Amino acid sequence: MDFEDRSRYLCELYKQMIFNYEERKVENTGINGAIIDTCMVTDSSCPYETGICHPDYNEGHYIIVELYETKEQSKIGHEKWVKLFSKEPLPTYMVDVSKSIIRDIIKSVTGHDLNRIYKKNTKNQNSRK
């Protein structure tokens, strides 16, 4: 598949994901300043993932923290992350485990693996109020 074909393919995948979130959603929980979102995805090596958005990590952008093969596994995983974020202290870091197609393309072009470790920003402690 050449670059143009890949671009068209990715655009189609993202259109599928953008317009049907409610159908793909497994769970979405707001807790302790975090949004924990688990849903079915079309752009990854696994069909389900949990992403966490919190102002103390990755400048408030989502971090994909876990991937799942089944909806049942994703429900269990979601609850695990909700429990983890329901008590203090919050984790000192989170690892982005995303296996999205766009990450694979970027890695093949640049040689850089985008899976990163995001440390907790301790300067932002008041953001959870």
Among residues of the chain, what percentage have pLDDT more than 70? 75
Encoded tokens for 1 = 């598949």
Question: How far out from the chain centre does Cα 100 lie?
Answer: 10
Please tell me what DSSP assigns to residue 32: T
* Residue 13, pLDDT above cutoff 90: no
Range 89-113 average pLDDT? 81
Task: Give the pLDDT score at 87.
Answer: 93
Q: In a 10 Å sphere around its CB, with 0-12 CB exposed, 13-18 middle and 19+ buried, how is residue 52 labelled?
A: buried
HSE at residue 98, side-chain half, CA atoms within 13 A, is: 23
Residue 126 has pLDDT above 50, yes or no: no
Share of the chain above pLDDT 90, in %: 49
pLDDT classification of 129: cutoffs 50, 70, 90: very low
b/e for 77-111, b at 16 or more Cβ within 10 A? bbeebbebbeeeebbeebebbbebbebbeeeeeee
